[in-house]
Structure 1
Amino acid sequence: MNNKKNKKAEEEFKPLEITSPRTAAAPGPTVGDSCCSADGRPKQAGAEGQEEAEEEAKSSYVPTAISLFLLLAGILLDYLDVPWFTGYVRLLVYGIAYLLVGWRVVWHAIKSMRGSFFNEFFLMSMATLGAFYIGEYAEGVAVMLFYVIGEHFQEAAVLRSRRSIKALIDNRPDEVDLITERGITTVKAKEVQVGSVIQIKAGEKVALDGELLSDRSSFNTAALTGESKPDTKKKGETVLAGMINLDRVIELKVTAAYENSALSKILRLVEEAGSRKAKTQQFITRFAKVYTPIVFFLAVGLTFIPYFFVEAYDFNQWLYRALIFLVISCPCALVISIPLGYFGGIGAASRNGLLFKGSNFLDLMTQVDTVVMDKTGTLTEGVFKVQQVKTTLPDKSWFLAAVAAIESQSTHPIAQAIVAAATTQKYTATNVEELSGHGLKGEVDGRQLLVGNARLLDKYHIPYDPSLKDIVETIVLVAVDGAYAGYITIADKIKEDAPLAVKRMRELGVKKLVMLSGDKDSIVQQVAKELQLDEAYGGLLPQDKVSKVEKLKAKGNTVAFVGDGINDAPVITLADVGMAMGGLGSDAAIETADVVIQTDHPAKIATAIRIGKKTRQIVWQNITLAFAVKAIVLILGAWGVATMWEAVFADVGVAFLAILNAVRIQRMKFD
């Protein structure tokens, strides 16, 4: 049903692996998998894995620093032409400098020979050992040293991305105050069982998901939604890990274990997102597997073919050119910077309240030309509110309060909206009777009230203006003491940023905006007209929404669907990009959608498109830079103009520039 992603048939997520050969313990993959993913073992997710990776990276800096010192010392001694710095002494100094940084790379080149040995480890080993063979010790060490330094920069960029994401959405306290029969005890958050009650003081961050047992409190939800406006929670409502309690000491009943909280799931999604490759990454993977052996055999040819055409053939001279050719051919800049670019895009998205489940969806967002949206909860608040109160009575406040007194006996959402709108003194309703399909009748303040639809007033033969039936919004008619007394309209309010969302999507090239809803068609058309959408359909069941999206896709459109929950799951799955609003409170939305909008703001749809476009732009900048520089230096190397130092720049230097270009996306603003 969904050829572009087949996401339900994919394997379970694997953590993003951008690691170096220094951490390897098993045969590594080929260059197409990742320039630096040599270990084949998943990195730990979470704080412990992060700390382990950082310590591992720091410990690897020491041999690199020593190697650099020995290289510089050797170059200085060569320059000064020190008499004793020759023969085996010179080889020993440069040899130690080489082994400090290169032994793991050489070891992995040897192990990779069991499979496809045309990878960056093999190329770097051949080039640098060849340099030693012809006596160019300093250049051989320099190539390997700068290759490893490039990896250090790449590791630092990845760790920085992970730290920024974790700092943004996961700095939960490790300990909580657990309420027991013997009083309050401080325990590890990971040890707290579901159903336990914890206490949270004002100013403290919530460590676990739970149900609020206290009457009310306000929370800063910026870590989860990016919104600075406090959110007031009432007794019985859900409070999520990561929120900050602002008001008073409160009590929470824990509803999810530490590792199963909504925030933990979000963190895992961000950690795992990189395992789904974009088409650009897949192309580079395939390209590298063909490109690498070709340039290797070209280098072999460059060494031996001139023997048949050059009169003064010098084997070492042509071998040196071939070694330069090999160093330049290593596609590290591509296979490092491209996944890092997409990971940067995922990080930038998380900073803007968006969760991408894979880099492939960043690519797909750039192709979206049709956005289909649900109405309730996506473009509208999803909460009924009183819009108008019209009455023929002189006291409007009494009118609304009296109607609210009657409606307080009902649990219907419309009744609850009217009760919520009554801010004046409440009256007590008596003799309230529900008339099925019509409304309610009862007494308030000694007066008889009828509250319901037009059929209710028709039943009691109470005249009213027939034009009231043409009002689009849900309308509640009211009669007092047998006479028409007014009406109240209730509607689902359009979200404040919905018009902005439509404007931004138009600016980004979205050709068609469609709204699908199960609500009354007249209401749907009114909302669509107000937001200036292209098409709108009301009164739809879930299967009807699927049918509409299938027709749009059949016309060749790339469709993104935005819904707000499990009812939209079928069409979210069908769309090229499924997006869920309100994913924080819905496991179903997180599981089904490709992109989760944490803030519930439809304007984030445009933000997702913008981040996808910028990520793709940076990735192609890196590809162009790498190919252009490599092509120039390859030609110069083949003609003997470029030395090993230019080769180092063409490989490691370009990789470094590409890394810097990739990570800058996280500092950009998209709203």
Structure 2
Amino acid sequence: MSENVTDEACCDSCGSCSPQKTSESSSYLTEYWAPILSGLLLLGGLSIEHLLQAGWFSGPAKLIWYLVAYMPVGLPVLQQGLKNALNGSLFTEFFLMGIATVGAFFIGEYAEGVAVMLFYSVGELFQQRAVQKARANIRSLLDVRPETAHLLRDGQVTTVHPKSISVGEQIRVRPGERVPLDGELISEGGGFDTSALTGESTPRYFSEGETVLSGMVNQNQVVELEVTKSYENSSISRILQLVEDASSRKAETELFIRRFAKIYTPAVVGLAALLVALPAIFVTPYVFDEWLYRGLVFLVISCPCALMISIPLGYFGGIGASSKNGILVKGSNFLDALTSVKTVVFDKTGTLTEGRYSVQDIDFISNNQDQMISLLNAVETSSTHPVAKAITEHIGKETILQPKVTDQQELPGFGVKAIADGKPVIIGSEKLMRRENIDLNGHAKNGRSDRSVVYFAVDGKHAGTITLSDRLKADAADAIKQLKKLGVERTIMLSGDRKSIADEVGKDIGIDEVFGDLLPDEKANKLDKIKQRYPGVTAYAGDGINDAPVLALSDVGIAMGAMGSDVAIETADVVIQTDQPSKIATSIRISKATRTIVWQNIGLALGVKALVLLLGAAGMATLWEAVFADVGVTLLAVLNAVRIQKMDFD
């Protein structure tokens, strides 16, 4: 019955769907005993009445038989209708069905009264199953939290529940197992299947020191992690919570339908009463039973269940489809807003670029290249600066010589100085070279403005030049093209980097407008001006702590979730788990498909109901057609709503 439909699918406005949840462990036989018994008794009564034409089956005997057939399916509905009425919700589907079927008994249409309630009950059970299946599908996509973890403590491995493990402790993950908690990889490296979080089928390799997220599957070898987040705060737990919370944030369409139902249901009840009473003034001869029957048909058709169930389920299905594609939408209102996005504003570093330096070229001045590589590697290995890490990763572990490094000094904003094998080594910016009186011999920075240049000197002489850049994400340019195809009118980039660097990146991927040299508060001011200048919904995509104010200010805030800051992820309305900017276009495609399905359901429900209401008022529709207009259309709308989870949006 409707009282077993889940909360998200309930009709808040009319109270017609009580949030009492059927136990998952209940068997089909237990759940369907009432309609099965009523169905058998109804078939038995029809057979006795029309096939056997038994003389005794009339009067009180016939009434009692059909009352017994009615009670298993009718009594729960009448009880719920009375309960809702006492709580102030009179005009519910329970009230409508109760009045219609009791009225059918009143005019002697016993079989039709039982049949209406029976088909209504069966329809509600199938509808409930569809809703539960949709929710189960979404949870199965996401709830991949392991129930066990292998804890390393005092040299021993103990299998425990992940909840009992604290931040800072170490765990071991075997090949084929899911990572139970977020952690920093302390093993040399390993490959992981990230599809549970990102929707991507291609495995990803993580190196020592990188963060591995819960829900990923270890593919190659035994690895060890140092836990960085508790079970409750792990990535997969937060994803599940976000999806669960999303259903509480309603889209405008949902809110409108709910407001509409508050007026619609009592209005139709009033019209049904007028349909019964007014003909007494204008129609001769007036047959009360005939017009009462038409009024009862009118009541059955008027149930707004198809709208109340299928529309929230349509949005919930859209949220599930997004999750399947590695996109977390925090509410159906944000899913709705994505359909109207006209301007997409991007952060640069970590959003359109990978957010980490990579070496493009090392130009050695000295002929003794092997020695220079060894000295460079030895000094940079001890540094924690991102540039130093990029240089050591580029050089790799091929150096044979291992110079001894002493007196190393980090010079913030300039570079690093050290003594390696007794030789002074300086690595850093052109400013540092000038400060240390190093002659660059005409090798000062030139070429593309989006490249960074680092110089190194040995024994007071320029020894080489290193060119680095922050690489564009592989799908950055394609993301801009896809957004244009989807109707986004303009793309804008706001960056804290130098204007020259931001311009080069924007030119490479086709951004319409670029603004550089912006501080966090200047980004927020710039976005505010953009919203005032351009009509329509404005979305902002970013990943850093400094993006949080802009994410909050935008109409739709989109955070890069894999590498993004916790503050950005919490502030955002949409989280891209894959860190791929092209997923923004995917989220818009899903939102447009969701809205299409929602409006299809609205059109189907209102169209069929309007037609059968007219036929019922004219006496051309029976209670059987009325049942189809209510239960049948509801089932069709539910099936239409859940199909979005089967669509391919890539």
Change (3 A) 1:227 1:591: same
Displacement of 1:515: 0.9
> Are residues 1:20 and 2:2 paired?
yes
**Structure 2 equivalent of residue 68 of structure 1:** 39
- Following superposition of structure 1 onto structure 2, how do residues 588-607 of structure 1 map, counting pairs within 5 Å? 588-607=567-586
Displacement of 1:24: 10
Match of 1:172 among 145, 152, 156: 145
Match of 1:578 among 557, 565, 572: 557
Aligned equivalents of 1:72 and 1:612: distance in 2? 46
Three-state SS of the structure 2 residue aligned to 1:313 is coil
The answer (yes or no) to whether the contact 2:9–2:131 under 8 Å persists in 1 is no
Change (3 A) 1:454 1:119: same
Change (3 A) 1:570 1:179: same
Q: Which amino acid aligns with 2:514?
A: A
The answer (yes or no) to whether the contact 2:145–2:236 under 8 Å persists in 1 is no
**Structure 2 equivalent of residue 541 of structure 1:** 519
Displacement of 1:540: 1.2
Displacement of 1:562: 0.9
Which shifted more, 647-656 or 421-430? 421-430
**Structure 1 equivalent of residue 116 of structure 2:** 143
User: What whole-Å deviation, never above 9, does each CA across 1:346-389 have from its counterpart, x for those lacking one?
Assistant: 11111000111111111000111111111111111011111223
**Structure 1 equivalent of residue 469 of structure 2:** 491
- Following superposition of structure 1 onto structure 2, how do residues 521-536 of structure 1 map, counting pairs within 5 Å? 521-536=499-514
User: What whole-Å deviation, never above 9, does each CA across 1:59-100 have from its counterpart, x for those lacking one?
Assistant: 422222222333333333333133333333333333233222
Three-state SS of the structure 2 residue aligned to 1:84 is coil
Q: Which amino acid aligns with 1:620?
A: W
Provide the TM-score with structure 2 as the length reference: 0.91
> Are residues 1:348 and 2:325 paired?
no
Displacement of 1:618: 0.3
> Are residues 1:38 and 2:12 paired?
no
Q: Which amino acid aligns with 1:603?
A: S
Displacement of 1:174: 2.3
**Structure 1 equivalent of residue 379 of structure 2:** 406
Three-state SS of the structure 2 residue aligned to 1:650 is helix
Displacement of 1:537: 1.2
- Following superposition of structure 1 onto structure 2, how do residues 496-535 of structure 1 map, counting pairs within 5 Å? 496-535=474-513
**Structure 1 equivalent of residue 282 of structure 2:** 309
Aligned equivalents of 2:630 and 2:594: distance in 1? 22
**Structure 1 equivalent of residue 431 of structure 2:** 455
Change (3 A) 1:240 1:83: farther
List alignment gaps of at least 5 residues for structure 1. 1-18, 44-50
Which shifted more, 103-112 or 488-497? 103-112
User: What whole-Å deviation, never above 9, does each CA across 1:581-625 have from its counterpart, x for those lacking one?
Assistant: 025774423321111111111111001111110000000001011
Three-state SS of the structure 2 residue aligned to 1:52 is coil
Aligned equivalents of 1:397 and 1:518: distance in 2? 37
> Are residues 1:636 and 2:610 paired?
no
Change (3 A) 1:301 1:539: same
Change (3 A) 1:325 1:238: same
> Aligned-residue CA RMSD in angstroms?
2.9
The answer (yes or no) to whether the contact 1:401–1:422 under 8 Å persists in 2 is no
Displacement of 1:331: 0.9
The answer (yes or no) to whether the contact 1:565–1:582 under 8 Å persists in 2 is no
- Following superposition of structure 1 onto structure 2, how do residues 331-342 of structure 1 map, counting pairs within 5 Å? 331-342=304-315
**Structure 1 equivalent of residue 445 of structure 2:** 468
Change (3 A) 1:448 1:215: closer
Aligned equivalents of 1:457 and 1:171: distance in 2? 53
Three-state SS of the structure 1 residue aligned to 2:278 is helix
Aligned equivalents of 1:400 and 1:502: distance in 2? 40
> Are residues 1:200 and 2:176 paired?
no
Match of 1:623 among 598, 602, 605: 602
The answer (yes or no) to whether the contact 2:166–2:227 under 8 Å persists in 1 is yes
Provide the TM-score with structure 1 as the length reference: 0.88
Match of 2:295 among 319, 322, 332: 322
User: What whole-Å deviation, never above 9, does each CA across 1:378-424 have from its counterpart, x for those lacking one?
Assistant: 11101111122334455766655543333334322112211111133
**Structure 1 equivalent of residue 644 of structure 2:** 665
- Following superposition of structure 1 onto structure 2, how do residues 340-419 of structure 1 map, counting pairs within 5 Å? 340-393=313-366, 399-419=372-392
**Structure 2 equivalent of residue 116 of structure 1:** 89
User: What whole-Å deviation, never above 9, does each CA across 1:173-205 have from its counterpart, x for those lacking one?
Assistant: 323344455954444444445555444322122
Q: Which amino acid aligns with 1:493?
A: R
Aligned equivalents of 1:56 and 1:578: distance in 2? 44
Three-state SS of the structure 1 residue aligned to 2:55 is coil
Change (3 A) 1:256 1:409: closer
The answer (yes or no) to whether the contact 1:32–1:284 under 8 Å persists in 2 is no
Q: Which amino acid aligns with 1:268?
A: Q
Identity %: 50
Q: Which amino acid aligns with 2:491?
A: L
> Are residues 1:98 and 2:70 paired?
yes
Displacement of 1:434: 4.5
Aligned equivalents of 1:406 and 1:519: distance in 2? 27
Three-state SS of the structure 1 residue aligned to 2:549 is helix
Aligned equivalents of 1:564 and 1:58: distance in 2? 52
The answer (yes or no) to whether the contact 1:583–1:589 under 8 Å persists in 2 is no
User: What whole-Å deviation, never above 9, does each CA across 1:257-297 have from its counterpart, x for those lacking one?
Assistant: 43332212211221221111100011101111111111111
Aligned equivalents of 2:405 and 2:214: distance in 1? 44
Three-state SS of the structure 1 residue aligned to 2:38 is helix
Aligned equivalents of 1:30 and 1:267: distance in 2? 21
Q: Which amino acid aligns with 2:148?
A: E
Change (3 A) 1:310 1:34: closer
Aligned equivalents of 1:133 and 1:96: distance in 2? 16
Which shifted more, 653-662 or 182-191? 182-191
> Are residues 1:425 and 2:405 paired?
no
The answer (yes or no) to whether the contact 1:341–1:663 under 8 Å persists in 2 is yes
- Following superposition of structure 1 onto structure 2, how do residues 240-319 of structure 1 map, counting pairs within 5 Å? 240-319=213-292
Q: Which amino acid aligns with 1:596?
A: V
Change (3 A) 1:78 1:260: farther
The answer (yes or no) to whether the contact 2:9–2:313 under 8 Å persists in 1 is no
Change (3 A) 1:450 1:186: closer
Q: Which amino acid aligns with 1:72?
A: L
Change (3 A) 1:445 1:277: same
